[in-house]
Every structure is written in C-alpha cells, then in structure tokens.
Structure 1
Amino acid sequence: MQALITTPQTPTGLRLDEVPDPTPGTDEVLVEIELFTVVADHFAHAATLPTGSVPGFDAVGTVVRGTGDGSGPAVGTRVATLLTGNAWAGLRAVPAGELATVPEEVDPGQAGVMLIPGVSALRAIRRLGALTGKRLLITGAAGAVGHFAIQLGRLAGAEVTASVRDLGARDRLRALGAIEVVTSLADLSAPPHDVIDTVGGPLLAEAFDLLAEGGVIQQVGAGSGQPTTFAPYQLIGRRRRIESFYAGDGFGPDLAYLLDLMATGRLMPLDGERADWHDIEAVAQRLNAADTPRRMVVATR
C-alpha cells in the first residue's frame, strides 16, 4: 500500500512511498482510508517519530476486512477511526473499540474534522460533572475544540461563555449556543463555575483567579504557547482546582455518540479545507500561513 512515511530528506519530513500492508489482529478490522485530517502540530509530532514511521491520528474510510471474532462492523461500512499512528496510509488496522460507523447523513470530511476536537470536548465536559444551570467558560472558543465544547456544554445544560481574541466569530459562537462572548475575562458578567481552557499562558492564571469556589479548570490545550505563572499563594487556600487533560482510549462509543448528534442535527459540523495527499508539501505550507485553517481534510484517493 501507499503511505506517507517520515524521512529526513524532504522539507515536511514526509514522503509518499510503498510500505507493507498492515496485518489485522483478530479484534481488528482492516480499513481502506478515504481521508485523514491534519493540523500544523501533526507535522511537529511526525518529526519526533523514527524514519519510516506512518504518522496520523484520525481518519475515515471503508471496512475491507472484518474482525476475526465477528465483533466489528461489516465489510463495506464507512467508519471513523481514532488512535495514535498509521492514519496517513492507504490501509489501517483498527481495533473494533476505536471506530464508529459514519451515518449516511454525515459528510465524511466533516466527520473527520470532528474526531479529535469533538472527543476532546466531550470528555473534558464529562469530567466536569453536572453542568445544568452552571456557568461554563471556554477559552479559545473560536477554535475547533471550542466549536464543539460550546455545543456540548449547552446540551449538558450549562450557560456557556466564549472567550476569544477578537469578536469576528461572535455571531457564529452565539449561534452555537454561547450566551456571552468576550475578548477579556475582565468583561465576564459573572464568575465561571467551570472552565475548559485551550489557551494556557497568562489567561489560565487569570481564569483560576475568577473561578467560583468549588470550580474546576480542564486544561485541554495551550494554544498561546506561553508558560503560566502564578503569583505567590495564588493556589493556596482556595477550594478550586486545575486538572490536566488526558483523552484516553476506547473512542468508539464516543465517536458513535457524536456522529449521531451530527446526523440528527444536534451538533453543528465544522468544515476543513480539502487537499490531496500527493500535495502534502502544499498542505504544510497552508497550515502555516497567516490565515491558516483550523484543520485540513486530506484525501488518499
């Protein structure tokens, strides 16, 4: 099969080459990959892998061989897959617990764009516990995780505030369910009880200071690229906490839940620019451009 493999010989550190087909285990299905999604950080991750590795996390494709134990979807089923490695390839062996059927009502590219940010948002919100009637602050809300966290927070009963760098996305974020959109945490109308933080840096320390007693911050990302500095005693004597986020595994049921929300119109999808894997150098340049898209959908065929 063809795959994008790591190499020190190209600007992106990748080349399209022939590699052996994967051999599925008895609890795995073999998926012919139709498309995968890419963000700029994925290239940085690929650079850490040994030469000849196949990178990638999320991909959509069609089952071409079922599981040996009969536990997975049937041959011909379009599925969404999420696990670490071997996504940027023509074929992928996937444990049955790490995939979900893509409903006919869902565009496969929109399904692919949703996988990582959607699962991250869902699992972060679940870790916050009951949210009905509580104020939930989402930082970096104009990003992909924020796009889904606003909607899932609203579905969980929270009153969602979106924090963004500028108000250009205000109407979109309100349409997703945010009751308040701010560019400064000083403008919050009330303290948040919980926070999903995708920004980090000084904003994380500021959000902690504003957090209601008993509140929790789930730090899902650090898009600012800046360290967070806390003042002396800022973390002492307060009944509130910051939790690091770990997505875990066993994504199949959560993928199925999110895809069902999309299929029934309860979760608004997010589009990604489309490209071809033969143009991976151009994809890398596009993701590092000034007007970079959130994610790009890369077709393998």
Structure 2
Amino acid sequence: MKALIPTGDPAEPVVLADVPEPVPGPDEVLVKVEAFSVNRGETFKLERPAPGDRPGKDVAGLVVQPAADGSGPGGIARVVGHPMAGGWAEYAAVPTHALAVLPDGVTTHQAAALPLAGLTALRLLRAAGPVLGRRVLLTGASGGVGHYVTELAAAAGAEVTAVTRDAGRGARLAELGAARVVHDLADARGPYDLVLESTGGPALPLALARTARRGTLIWFGQAGRRPSTLDFFAFFDGPESAVIRHFHYLDDDTPLGDDLATLVRLTAEGRLHPEIGRLADWADTASVLTDLRERRVRGKAVLTVNGE
C-alpha cells in the first residue's frame, strides 16, 4: 500500500512510498483511510524523525476488517479514529477503544478534523472543571484546538477572551462564542479565573500575571517553541494562591472512543463546527505541512486519500 513516510528534510518533510499493509491486533480494526488531518505539533516531530517512524493520528474512513476479539463495529462502518501512528496511509490499524462510528450527518472530512484537536479541547476543559460564569483567557486561539475550546467553553457558559494576531481569525472566534478577542496578550484585561496557555516563551509569565486570586493556569503547549522563565518572587507578588498545571491530553480516565463519540455527536447536532482551513489531496501533504508549520493555515488541515 501507499503511505507517507518522513524524510527529515524541512523542505519536503514526507514522501509517498510503498510499505506493507498493517496487520491489526486482536482489538484493532483495519480502516481504509479516506481522509486524515495533520497537526502543527507533528510538523515539529518530522524535523528529526526516528527510524521507522510512521506519522498520523487523525483518520476517518471505512472499517474493512473488524476486530478479531469482537469489539468495535462488527462490519463495514464509517468511523473516525485516533491511532497513535500510521494514519497517513491507505490503510491504518486502529484500536477499537480509540474510534467512534459516524452518523450520516457528519462528513468524512469533518470527522478527520476532530480527533487530536477535539480531544485536547474536550479534555482540557474537563481538567479545568466547571466553567459556567468563569472568565477564561485562551492564548494561541487561532488553531484547531483554539476553535474547539472557544466553542465548547462558550457553550458551557464561560466568558472567553481569545488571543489571536489575525483579525479574520478573531472574527470567526467571536462567531463561535468568544466574548472578547485581543490581538496581543498585553491587551487582555484580566484577571481571569482560568487561563489556558499554549504558546510558551514570554507569553507564559504574561498570562500568569493575568490570573485571578486562586485562579488556575493550565499549560498545554509551547507553540512558540521558546522556553519560558518564571520568577518566583514576581509570582509571589502576583495572583495569590494561583495554580499552574501541566496538561497532556492522553492523561484522562475516559476512553478515547467515548470522547470521540461525544465530539461526533456535538458535530452532528450542530453544536461543534470543525474549522477546515485547508482541504487538499494527500499528494500535497508536504506543502500543507510546511504551511501549517509557518502558521499559514487557519483551523484544521485535512488531506483526502485517493480522491475521497
């Protein structure tokens, strides 16, 4: 079968190659991939790929071989899945605990845009606890996670301030429910009960300074790719008893499949809107990855496989 494999070359990070078709484990289904999405964090990993790396975590397509242990869909079914690797290919083995069946109202392209960004947003807000009536600051809001967080948090009753440099992206975030959009973190008024910080570098101490007394800052990324420095005494003089929490989306007690089903249901009900900023054939994956790395894609980038 054909699959995209890393090259280590930033100018052309992946190429199509012939690889063996995956052999599913007992609790895995074989999915004929119709579409997949790529994530900015994956572009960083592609800069120094390990031997044998097979990228791809977000897939949507058809189950063509059910799991041998009887779990998951029993026959041909449209699904969205979140394997840990190997999704940028014609076929992918996906654990049954990491997939959800798609209803007719959700397209394959929409589904492919859900897994990593949607799971991160859903679980980030779960980690934050109830947000009804709380003031929330979200940095790096123009990407896929930012769109989902904004819509989910606003729907749950949060007063969201979204930070994005792009005016057009800010307008869309306002449509999704952001109460305020600022183009520079320094313009965020504060204080905020909850700060969701994904940029790192100098943004982290600035965001922390805007955290309310006994507020929480959840640090879930470093998209700026710059280390952060925090001064203990400045923190001590700032928000009293504030909490800084590290977040990783896989550290959650809910099965991936259950949360994928929630994202699918919300999309089918029109309560969650996957933002697909780029839709292209998978032959163009290398150039799409470059544009994503350089922040030239708003929302999610989705690639279709073999004209699907």
TM-score normalized by the length of structure 2: 0.89
2:23 corresponds in structure 1 to 23
Give the alignment's Cα RMSD to 1 decimal. Answer: 2.3
Say whether the 8 Å CA contact 1:80–1:102 is kept in structure 2.
yes
Deviations 1:75-131 (A, max 9, x none): 221111113211111111111110111221112112212221111111111111121
Alignment of 1:241-252 (within 5 A): 241-248=243-250, 250-252=255-257
Alignment of 1:129-168 (within 5 A): 129-168=129-168
CA distance in 2, matches of 1:207, 1:176: 22
* Larger CA deviation: 158-167 vs 259-268: 158-167
2:282 corresponds in structure 1 to 277
| Deviation for aligned residue 1:235 | 3.2
* 3-state SS of 1:272 partner: strand
* 2:212 alignment partner AA: A
Extract unaligned runs of 5+ from structure 2: none
CA distance in 1, matches of 2:179, 2:262: 25
Say whether the 8 Å CA contact 1:160–1:178 is kept in structure 2.
yes
Alignment of 1:41-120 (within 5 A): 41-120=41-120
Say whether the 8 Å CA contact 1:136–1:195 is kept in structure 2.
yes
CA distance in 2, matches of 1:295, 1:61: 17
C-alpha change, 1:288 and 1:185, in structure 2 (3 Å) is closer
CA distance in 2, matches of 1:186, 1:290: 21
C-alpha change, 1:35 and 1:157, in structure 2 (3 Å) is same
Say whether the 8 Å CA contact 1:7–1:52 is kept in structure 2.
no
* 1:75 alignment partner AA: G
Say whether the 8 Å CA contact 1:60–1:112 is kept in structure 2.
yes
C-alpha change, 1:144 and 1:38, in structure 2 (3 Å) is same
| Deviation for aligned residue 1:199 | 1.6
CA distance in 2, matches of 1:71, 1:104: 22
Deviations 1:232-264 (A, max 9, x none): 412337311211111117311111101110100
* Larger CA deviation: 252-261 vs 40-49: 40-49
CA distance in 2, matches of 1:109, 1:154: 24
* 3-state SS of 1:212 partner: strand
* 3-state SS of 1:199 partner: coil
* 3-state SS of 1:119 partner: helix
2:301 corresponds in structure 1 to 296
2:261 corresponds in structure 1 to 256
Alignment of 1:162-177 (within 5 A): 162-177=162-177
Extract unaligned runs of 5+ from structure 1: none
Say whether the 8 Å CA contact 1:55–1:87 is kept in structure 2.
yes
Say whether the 8 Å CA contact 1:151–1:176 is kept in structure 2.
yes
2:196 corresponds in structure 1 to 196
C-alpha change, 1:284 and 1:150, in structure 2 (3 Å) is closer
* 1:56 alignment partner AA: G
Say whether the 8 Å CA contact 2:185–2:207 is kept in structure 1.
yes
CA distance in 1, matches of 2:121, 2:10: 34
- Paired residue for 1:267, among 245, 253, 272? 272
CA distance in 1, matches of 2:143, 2:18: 35
Say whether the 8 Å CA contact 1:141–1:147 is kept in structure 2.
yes
* Larger CA deviation: 286-295 vs 243-252: 286-295
CA distance in 2, matches of 1:290, 1:145: 14
CA distance in 2, matches of 1:214, 1:139: 20
CA distance in 2, matches of 1:144, 1:10: 22
Say whether the 8 Å CA contact 1:36–1:88 is kept in structure 2.
yes
